[in-house]
Chain A
Amino acid sequence: MTSPVAKPARWALWLPLVLFGAFVALVLVGLWRPADREVTSAMVGKPLPDFALRAAVPDRPGLARADFADGKPRLLNIFASWCVPCAVEAPQLARLKAVGVEIHGAAIRDRPEDVAAFLSRHGNPFTRIGADDVSSIQLAIGSSGVPETFVIDGKGVIRYQHIGEIRADQVGLILAKLEEAGQ
């Protein structure tokens, strides 16, 4: 009793080639549009956790949770003197300050003299600057790098996280987020 060997349907012959084509397409998509590797904070929409940082430079006070939540939205800028993109965003922070935005800074793993040199070279848009020698504020608010800028509303709730430097064309975006937080 011989059962005839089932002949695969014509279309099935093309199946391996189609699968291979799909695989190549997947690889090409991955090459041209690499996955977004930024770790976004899960704290957006939640209140700023409690923290208190000593002053990073002599001419600006330190920074604590209590310096937010007085009814006025403001920016919390995570920066460092050793961070090159932080220097790139300095003119944008100066523009934001010029239109009346209050910016608080947290200097990550930085020495007072280095922060002072950075600020004298690139300008000082900050009202207060806290020194964070062990990245504690970054861990507390889910920030994974420098620079990052958080919009904090008048109740002390984190409303927006901007990862990376604020570029010249993103000042409007930050202002819009601040206005949103003020409503």
Chain B
Amino acid sequence: MRHLLLPLALLAAPLAAQDSLPPAPYAYVQLPDPAQEARAKALMETLRCVKCQGQSIADSDAPMAGDMRSQVRERIAAGEDPEAIRAWLVERYGDYVSYAPRVTATTWPLFAAPLLLLALAVLLLRSRFARGGGTA
């Protein structure tokens, strides 16, 4: 049993670097109105936690993600549009904070490239099938 304690202590160490305040009001509390909660949840799943960048704020247990969730829920409850909240955050953290990519001057090739490749494949296949049909 004792040889388990050291690994456990090491696991617990990062928690010491956290604050001791209770979470923000709506960090772990759903909104009373299910429709509003659904809108908040949908938005939270597409916002990046800036502290733990591989996760959305809906997935993350970081205190800052909790604070972001609370703010999202409070604003939705106040009647704000989810996309307005996203725009507010993008204005502060840049596009990186949103998991829903936008078509902009720098990102359009990402959207155009698959279409171009698909068109190229169709052209290649058509000429190949046309030739095959001719010799058979």
- At the interface, yes or no: A24 with Cβ under 8 Å from chain B? no
Q: Which of B20, B71, B90 contacts A139 (CB 8 A)?
A: B71
Q: How far is the CB of B87 from chain A (nearest CB, A)?
A: 12
- At the interface, yes or no: A124 with Cβ under 8 Å from chain B? no
Would you list which residues of chain B between 14 and 71 have a CB under 8 Å from chain A?
17-21, 24-25, 50-51, 53, 63-64, 67-68, 70-71
With a 10 A CB-CB cut-off, give which of A37, A82, A109 has the most chain B CB atoms. A109
Bound CA–CA A42/B91 (angstroms): 6
Contact indicator B94/A82 (Cβ below 8 Å): no
Task: Decide if the interface of chain A is mainly helix, strand, loop or mixed.
Answer: loop
Contact indicator B92/A109 (Cβ below 8 Å): no
- At the interface, yes or no: B111 with Cβ under 8 Å from chain A? no
**Contact flags A107-120 to B (C-beta < 8 A → 1, else 0):** 01111001000000
Q: Given A37-B53, A39-B93, are A136 and B71 also a contact pair (CB < 8 Å)? A: yes
Apart from A80-B19, A140-B92, A145-B51, what 18 extra A-B contacts exist at CB < 8 Å? Answer: A37-B53, A39-B94, A39-B96, A41-B92, A41-B93, A42-B90, A42-B92, A42-B94, A82-B20, A83-B17, A110-B19, A134-B70, A135-B63, A138-B64, A139-B71, A141-B92, A142-B92, A144-B93
| Residues of B bordering A, CB below 8 Å | 17-21, 24-25, 50-51, 53, 63-64, 67-68, 70-71, 89-94, 96-97
